Amino acid sequence: MILTRSLPVIIDARPYEIGRIMLDVLFTAMALLLIFEGIGPMLFPNKWQQFITQLAQQPSNQLRTMGGVLVTIGIVSLYYLLW
């Protein structure tokens, strides 16, 4: 929603400003990803190890399906957030 509110500003911006805004959004998203991914191992290291061990023992098809579901959820979420 924040991006759609600032869309007129982005349209009026110069091309290098648009690239700068896109990089800022990308780095912000990556920083949030690192924060959320680091919470589990930081707070519950033993349970996190058990989870990773169980995950590594799953068949490849199940991991592929799980990855596909997560990517689909991410794409649908982005679609509804940005449009």
- Tell me the per-residue pLDDT of 3-58, one tens digit each, with 9 for 90 and over: 555 555 555 667 667 778 888 888 999 999 999 999 999 999 999 999 999 999 99
Could you tell me which of 23, 19, 25, 20 has the C-alpha nearest to residue 4?
A: 25
- pLDDT (0 to 100) of residue 8: 52
Domain ranges of the chain: 1-43
- pLDDT (0 to 100) of residue 44: 96
Contact status, residue 25 vs residue 2, Cβ threshold 8 Å: no
Contact status, residue 81 vs residue 1, Cβ threshold 8 Å: yes
Q: What is the dihedral of CA 18, 24, 25, 26, to 10 degrees?
A: 110
Share of the chain above pLDDT 90, in %: 59
The answer on pLDDT for 1 being more than 50 is no
